[in-house]
Amino acid sequence: MSLRQAHDILAVRTRGQGLTDITQDVAAFVRGSGITTGLLTLFIQHTSASLTIQENADPDVLADLNDFFRRIVHEDPSLYRHTMEGPDDMPAHIRSALTNVQVSIPVLTGVMVLGTWQGLYVFEHRARPHDRRVVLHLSGS
């Protein structure tokens, strides 16, 4: 068997601060790749948003996560030197540094091997909606 690769860039429009579910879009990419066994890597091309694998059953989990990050990283411009892009920008960079910009997921029998209650999310750390890019790369056979 030879190693095959597939790649794409997923465009994601966020609604502002919070988590946007991208699980189904990524699953469609995996299905369309024709690769049945391999490793999927996702990478977000931004410094004020991140990626996370999180519970997809109870929306309160996502709300609690967002609230938690608001509590630990304050949007107070007096705390930061970098303020030229608004009061939410430097806190967004900090939140991104505390989370992930890349995740890897095994693929078996043509599907991502996520747990029963796991979903893939873009975690937007800015207050207003943004267009985000997530690079998808799948290697396998």
Distance in angstroms (rounded) separating the CA atoms of residues 39 and 62? 26
Instruction: Specify the pLDDT at position 140.
Output: 98
pLDDT at 39: 98
Domain boundaries, the chain: 4-140
Whether the per-residue pLDDT at 2 is higher than 90: the answer is no
Q: How many CA atoms lie within 13 A of 47 on its CB side?
A: 6
4-140 fold? Jelly Rolls (2.60.120)
Residue 98 has pLDDT above 70, yes or no: yes
Within 8 A by CB and 6+ apart from 17, the residues are 66, 70, 88, 124, 125, 126, 127
**3-state DSSP helix/strand/coil % of the chain, to nearest 5:** 25, 40, 35
Would the pLDDT of 1 be above 80?
A: no
CA distance 47 to 31: 29
Radius of gyration of the chain (CA): 16
The most distant pair of C-alpha atoms in the chain lies apart, rounded to whole Å, by: 58
Residue 26 has pLDDT above 80, yes or no: yes
pTM over 0.85: yes
Cα dihedral 55, 58, 59, 65 sign: negative
